[in-house]
Amino acid sequence: MSLWFLDSSVLLAAEDTDDENYGDACRLLGGSDPLASLDLAFYEVTNVAVRAWRDPSAAHRLRERVAAVAGDGGLVRADAELISDSAALADEHGISVYDAAYVVAARLAGGELVSCDRRDLVARGLARLPRDVGVNRPSP
């Protein structure tokens, strides 16, 4: 049993059939390993659904998915210490504090970060792509 820590891109990929990670993101969300995320995901997925996609139905499903993750492995709450650690990591790797916050939160939770962000996270070894996560279907 591994704890997979999802950033907002994985949650969004499961809501966009055009995305190359759609199938793997859906498989991960429906899999048998515990999932967790950062509270920032609530804002980010809703922002993309409302501002970029202009799709209220997608926004609704995305909110419900984040809530489902919160009821499973939980949502890490951002606080001063997490942001401080994120700022240091962002500086070290030349990435945004937003991206770094997911990396730090995943480490705090004892999980591994999963992201669709190849350039800033996967290529630097800070996250795995959904397709590189082996998950089983839940058994009843």
Binding site for other proteins (CB under 8 A): 1-3, 7-9, 12-13, 15-21, 26, 29-36, 39, 44, 47-48, 51-53, 55-58, 60-61, 64-65, 68-77, 79, 82, 85, 89, 96, 98, 104, 107-112, 115-119, 138, 140
User: Helix 80-93 crosses helix 97-109 at what angle (to 10 degrees)?
Assistant: 120
In the chain, helix, strand, coil percent, each to 5?
Answer: 55, 10, 35
> Is the Cβ of residue 64 or residue 91 nearer to other proteins in the bound state?
64
- Alpha helices by DSSP H, listed for the chain, are 8-13, 22-29, 40-47, 56-70, 80-93, 97-109
Q: Residue 97: beta bridge partners?
A: none
User: In 3D, which of 53, 48, 103, 54 has the Cα closest to residue 76?
Assistant: 103
The amino acid at residue 71 is G
